[in-house]
Amino acid sequence: MAKIRSHKGITPDFGARVWIDPCATVIGDVVLGDDCSVWPMTTIRGDMHRIRIGQRCSIQDGSVLHITHAGPFNPDGWPLTLGDDVTVGHRAVLHGATLGSRILVGMGAMVMDGAVVEDEVIIGAGCLVPPGKRLESGYLYVGAPCRQARALSDEEKQFFTYTAANYVRLKDEYLSAG
């Protein structure tokens, strides 16, 4: 069974048809929208700020999602927010950032504190999005630190909802199997 834990009296809240792998951990002030999936060895830790994840998001194996706490160096802290139809690749780290909708975060990518990723962006595998960086809608970003590589094709833009729907179908298989 997945490790779902309260922290300071706040328990994670899940929308309809959410699937969380038995080897994943979700802690504290976390809200997952409808049809989300959280895959093996993923940690989503909302212990010192909130995490909000939209609908049809897939958080894949080994990913870490966390926040930036409020303190003397950052009085308000940074929550972690993901819009709808976000696919987070294996071993990605998302930390105190804001990601819009229809985004693909490549395997092993890192999105750091205060970064903002607008809608319809591909963050390449292994990419490092530095603290406070803003990624403009409609582009592929690569590198460490990341740089804008090129505009997305229409086919790539259609892939966002395709891959989100594909992971909804897969998690439904897991849900129906018990």
Which of 1-10, 39-48, 114-123, 133-142 comes out lowest in average pLDDT?
Answer: 1-10
Confidence of residue 155 (pLDDT cuts 50, 70, 90): very high
pLDDT in tens, 86-97: 999 999 999 999
pLDDT digits (tens, 9 = 90+) for 13-53: 999 999 999 999 999 999 999 999 999 999 999 999 999 99
Inform me whether the pLDDT recorded for 1 exceeds 80: no
Quote the pLDDT of residue 161.
96
Per-residue confidence (pLDDT) for residue 19, from 0 to 100: 97
**Residues whose CB falls within 8 Å of the CB of residue 75, separated by 6 or more in sequence, listed in order:** none
**Residue 2 pLDDT class (50, 70, 90 cuts):** confident
User: Is residue 100 within 8 Å of 119, Cβ to Cβ?
Assistant: yes
Q: What is the structure's pLDDT at 124?
A: 98
Q: Residue 108 in contact with residue 143, Cβ under 8 Å?
A: no
Q: Above pLDDT 90, what percent of the chain? A: 98
Domains of the chain: 3-177 (2.160.10.10)
pLDDT at 62 over 80: yes
| pLDDT over 80 at 7, yes or no | yes
Look at the pTM and tell me if it is higher than 0.75. yes
How high is the pLDDT of residue 178? 81
Return the ∠ at Cα 93 (arms to 88 and 99), rounded to 5°.
55
Mean pLDDT of 45-63: 98
